[in-house]
Amino acid sequence: MSLVLHYFRNSASHVVRMALEELGLPYRDELVDTASGEQHSPAFRKLNPRGLVPVVIDERSGIVLSETAAILLYLADLTGCLAPSIDDRPGRAVFLRWLFLLSNTIHADAQIQYYTERYVGTDFADRVRPKIHDRMRQHLHLVEEHIDGHGGPWLLGDTLSVCDFYLGGCVRWSLMAPRDDPLDPEAVHARPHLKALLASLETRDSVKRAFAAEGIGESSYFLAPEHIPMTTGQGK
């Protein structure tokens, strides 16, 4: 077993777990105990100075990698799967565009939605969240238009890529959090291409295994997720 995934339940590390499962890469996971603040411990900060999951260690090469998008690209390049190769320049260009957009905009906004108080404090959270919901709706509209114009069912047309898992994770968090003010499900359900993509994603065995591994056994992971806090949890 040469890959190690440092994770906590239902967090950004889950996107990496779905990709690992889809790629069929053997890995073991190491729970980061956020209840005791392990993410801030000197040992974990050596792996990621920002104190965030996911972190993946490739024990064969000694590479320690954080940042969801970087890890997804690393795993895709390692296996030659779930991303167009660099020889396919047009395909790779579309892929990179989505990977970066997911990372620096869609995931970033999902985090502001999830952790609003961390960004603006408690007094302003209620004023910021409607704006973030608007932004998420715009992002999902962009996905819908892209698939409509380029053909689906996935972001890259008929080829599943790590970007689809990343999109699934972002939509899931946005529909779940915060418990009393998540994104209106219509933002997803009114967009048939997006809805079909997510419906296909959640029937995949890899996705089911990834959720089961964290003790999450819902019937709909992406289209109607139950609120599950991003904490250590009981799953493992």
Ligand X SMILES: N[C@@H](CCC(=O)N[C@@H](CS)C(=O)NCC(=O)O)C(=O)O
Least Å distance, CB 35 to ligand X, is 11
Number of residues that bind ligand X (CB under 6 A): 13
Segment near ligand X (CB under 6 A); pick from 45-53, 138-146, 159-167, 193-201: 45-53
Structural contact between residues 5 and 17, judged by C-beta atoms closer than 8 angstroms: yes
Please choose, from the candidates 64, 79, 61, 50, the residue with its C-alpha nearest in 3D space to the C-alpha of residue 6: 64
Least Å distance, CB 197 to ligand X, is 21
Least Å distance, CB 11 to ligand X, is 4
Cα-based distances in Å from 171 to 90, 96, 116, 174, 203: 26, 19, 16, 5, 16
- What track of x and - describes contact with ligand X for positions 89 through 108 (by CB under 6 A)? --------------x---x-
Decide: is 39 part of the binding site for ligand X (CB under 6 A). Answer: yes
| Complex with ligand X: residue 67 or 181, whichever CB lies closer | 67
Q: Quote the CA–CA distance of 5 and 15 in Å, as a whole number.
A: 11
Segment near ligand X (CB under 6 A); pick from 19-27, 47-55, 90-98, 206-214: 47-55
Q: Of 49-78, which residues contact ligand X (CB under 6 A)?
A: 51-54, 67-68
Q: How many CA atoms lie within 13 A of 13 on its CB side?
A: 26
- What track of x and - describes contact with ligand X for positions 8 through 27 (by CB under 6 A)? ---xx---------------
Decide: is 116 part of the binding site for ligand X (CB under 6 A). Answer: no
CA dihedral 130, 154, 231, 211 (to 10 degrees): 140
Segment near ligand X (CB under 6 A); pick from 46-54, 155-163, 197-205, 213-221: 46-54
Return residues touching ligand X (CB under 6 A). Answer: 11-12, 39, 51-54, 67-68, 103, 107, 111, 230
